[in-house]
Amino acid sequence: MEQNQQVLATAFRKAKAKIKKIEEFRITPDFTDDQIDDLVIKLCQIKALELNEPVTALMTRGQTYYVELLVEFSGMTPEEKLDSEYENSFADSASKEDMLSALS
C-alpha cells in the first residue's frame, strides 16, 4: 500500500521532535534502569513545579512511559523511526478511504 503523504509528513515531524528530546536528555539505547529512574524523577519534579502541585503516581507513570518510549526509539534505525511514527499517526491524519484500504 502506498503511504499517505500527509501522514508521512506528520510522522516525520513527530520523529524529529523525539530525536530532539533524545539528544536533549542524552538518551541512548543502553540506558540503565537507574538512568531511566533518574530522568523520570527529574522530569516529574519539573512537571510538578510547572503545575504547582506535588509529584503524583500518575505523573510518574506517564513520565516513565515517555522515557522508556524515547529509550526504545533511540535504538531504532531512521527507517524504523519513521515507520513507527507513521503507524502512530495514521489514524489521526488518514482519509477514510486510506483507513478502509489499510484494513482490507
The three grid cell numbers given for residue 57, joined into one nine-digit string: 503516581
In what helix (H) or strand (E) does residue 5 lie, and over which residues does it extend?
helix 5-25
Distance CA 6, CA 88 (A): 13
Please report the pLDDT score of residue 23 as a whole number. Answer: 98
The three grid cell numbers given for residue 101, joined into one nine-digit string: 484500504
| pTM for this predicted structure | 0.83
Alpha-carbon 102 to chain mean position: 23
3-state SS string for 53-81: CCCCHHHHHHHHHHHHHHHHHHCCCHHHH
Q: What is the mean pLDDT of each run of 10 residues along the chain (104 residues)?
A: 82 96 97 97 96 95 97 97 89 78 80
Phi and psi torsions of 4, nearest 5°: -70, 125
Please report the pLDDT score of residue 88 as a whole number. Answer: 86
Distance CA 41, CA 52 (A): 16
